[in-house]
Structure 1
Amino acid sequence: MLRLCKHAVFMYGRWTNFTLRIFSTSCYSTSPARLGILKRVTEKYERVLEQRFPRFYVLYHTLMRGFQLLFEDVKEIRRIRRNICRNSIHYRQLPYREMERLILFRRDMIKAIPLAVISLPPFGICLVFILMCLFPRQLLFQHFWSPQQQRKFQMISHLKRSEHQAQILRNIASTAPHVSNWSQRTLLQNLCAKVQSGAHPDVSELHAVREVFSGPLLRMQSLKPSHLRSLGSQTPRIVWLPSFLVRRRLTKEALDLLYLDSALNCLGLKQLTDEEMRRACDFRGLYSSHLSSSQCREWLHQWLQFSSQVNKSEISLLLHSITVLTLNYPESQSK
């Protein structure tokens, strides 16, 4: 995975250090005085860009910051991987923050693969920059988005996710009448009716129907391709892949989430900053931009209460709960 971002980091190094290399080659010295001069020249150049070409300056500043953040991520991921090799452990045994960073980095790199491939041929980098400007949401990730783009793209993702959540709930409701156990069938129908009416369910109501999601109707191996693709829309997923690959990748992501929740339980919610808490909610499918910190903390506490009792054989329940526990939160609390 680290190899995929070498080209991007190389681009960052060439772009940001070009003037420095020329300066050091001609003068054979990078003394503090000369570095100070270089810094002032760079700042003046950026001011000219900001005044005369404000749109280009926003793009320039966003890309520079994106490559800088990516470079920092690469260094941190290399440190984490060295620790994994040195201690002979699986990445799911890492502490919460390190495991989360590794999982998010892998997601970002998978999304960046098309750009990395396109930029390999000669002059491909020109095409990359054009595509980055035309399709930032599809081809780039958060490091390369401006604050305005982050808010806009998060809203778009939330709206697209909401469209599929209704379909997931309909799939569950259509399966409920076929459950052979009468009590489980009644509980599942009541749960679907409650969520469809706009109410937020309790964690205990989900645990009460856990047998259905590990049974022959709603376990991962039994889900239809259309149902799988609806579930895949809840996480960053390439849903046009063959269904067996979608099933495999969803299973892996669900297990990653299960171990991540376990690590978060060990760390404790009180140790998270507001930014970390919102990122944790977004990672679990909750759109947190319009929520207060207390609402995010309350929902995350409910989620951990639920996931701490989910077994590896019940990952279908975990994936469906991303919809059930986020669809009506927190609007239903005011009803």
Structure 2
Amino acid sequence: MHSLSRILLHRSNSVLNSPTFLVAVRQTSAGPPPATPAKEGSLTYKYEQFIGKWPKVLALHRTVLEGSRWCFADVKMYFKTKRAVATGQKKLTDLSVEELETLVQSGSELIKMLTLIVILQIPGPGDILILMLIFFPRLVLTRHFWSDQQRREYFQLEVTKALISGEQLLKTYGNPSSTDENKMKPLDKLDSSEMLLVHNMQSMYPIPGSSKRIMNRMKALRALDNLLPTTIDGFNERQLIFNCYIRKIDIGKKNDSEMRDSLRQYVKFTSRMPNNVYLYASPLFKQK
């Protein structure tokens, strides 16, 4: 098999640097940017013609190509948006839904994305992505490489674990309701065991600087909540699943209508919460 990583880099860079990428990158949670068809006679074209003899191999190859383009697009938008906010070029209230979605990705997912981008720069190891796709999709890869069914299944697993941690944390406060503001500790007042539960609730690793990232993620998520009522009707299933996941709302077997309803209820439920209460929004929403 030819080096898949070289093909990935060539295809990804050609898409990312094309004029259409300015529009295509705005897909984000909806899916990857549209692909530029391989030119007849090119290395990519010949390679796909060759592996086309084995349909399953071709399908895996295209899944990796699509996932790589999507991952590149998200990483590029993440750093571009983060820089714009940090330098004061934009405020959170100026950002689009797609830009905010990249900012609220969990720390664990972002670390995986950055690791995959590094791997794809090295000729050869990119071929290993196909093996990862077959044997370790949830442990090693990100949502960009999963099927729609896997995305729903894996996100629900993360939501379930997050809610369990959230419920354990609320128990330490005597299971207060969302109106018991004084019983909710702000992030800087939590002890080490409570902080660990908060990290689990946010699907984030407890590494240096993570507390600041949790605060920034919470601010970005609240800005995204403000945009949701006017944009949610245009969301497809992928977007609805992703938006439930980042808020740690149960996905289960809900259809599109049920997920929209859950998201609308969540935004309404949390709209008047101060930040120290919003930190616990997901388990509070589940128990309401």
User: 1:171-250, aligned counterparts within 5 Å?
Assistant: 171-173=172-174, 188=176, 191=177, 206=178, 208-213=179-184, 218-239=185-206, 241=207, 245-250=209-214
* Pair 1:260 & 2:258 matched: no
**Structure 2 regions of 5+ residues with no counterpart?**
14-37
User: Who is 1:279 aligned against?
Assistant: 242
Percent identity among equivalent residues? 20
* Pair 1:305 & 2:276 matched: no
Relative to the length of structure 1, the TM-score reads 0.61
Relative to the length of structure 2, the TM-score reads 0.70
Distance 1:119 1:60, change over 3 A: closer
C-alpha distance in 2 between matches for 1:291 and 1:44: 40
Contact 2:240-2:259 at 8 Å conserved across structures: yes
User: Who is 2:31 aligned against?
Assistant: none
- After superposition, the CA RMSD in angstroms is 4.0
- Which whole-Å deviations, capped at 9, do the CAs of 1:183-225 have from their partners, x for residues lacking one? xxxxx3xx4xxxxxxxxxxxxxx2x212332xxxx22222122
The structural deviation recorded for 1:63 is: 0.7
- Which whole-Å deviations, capped at 9, do the CAs of 1:33-84 have from their partners, x for residues lacking one? x94466875554343121xxx3x44432321221232345467668868987
Count of aligned residue pairs for this structure pair: 260
Contact 2:100-2:224 at 8 Å conserved across structures: yes
The match for 2:284 among 298, 304, 324 is 324
Distance 1:40 1:257, change over 3 A: closer
SS at match of 1:326: helix
The structural deviation recorded for 1:303 is: 1.7
* Pair 1:295 & 2:266 matched: no
Based on CA coordinates, which of the two structures has the bigger radius of gyration?
1
**Structure 1 regions of 5+ residues with no counterpart?**
1-7, 18-33, 177-187, 192-205, 329-335
User: Who is 1:315 aligned against?
Assistant: 275
* Pair 1:110 & 2:78 matched: no
SS at match of 2:280: helix
Give the structure with the larger helix fraction: 1
The match for 1:12 among 8, 11, 33 is 8
SS at match of 2:50: helix
Q: Which fold has the larger relative contact order, with Cα–Cα distance below 8 Å and residues 6 or more apart in sequence?
A: 2
* Pair 1:48 & 2:53 matched: yes
Distance 1:44 1:123, change over 3 A: closer
Instruction: Give the AA of the match of 1:161.
Output: A
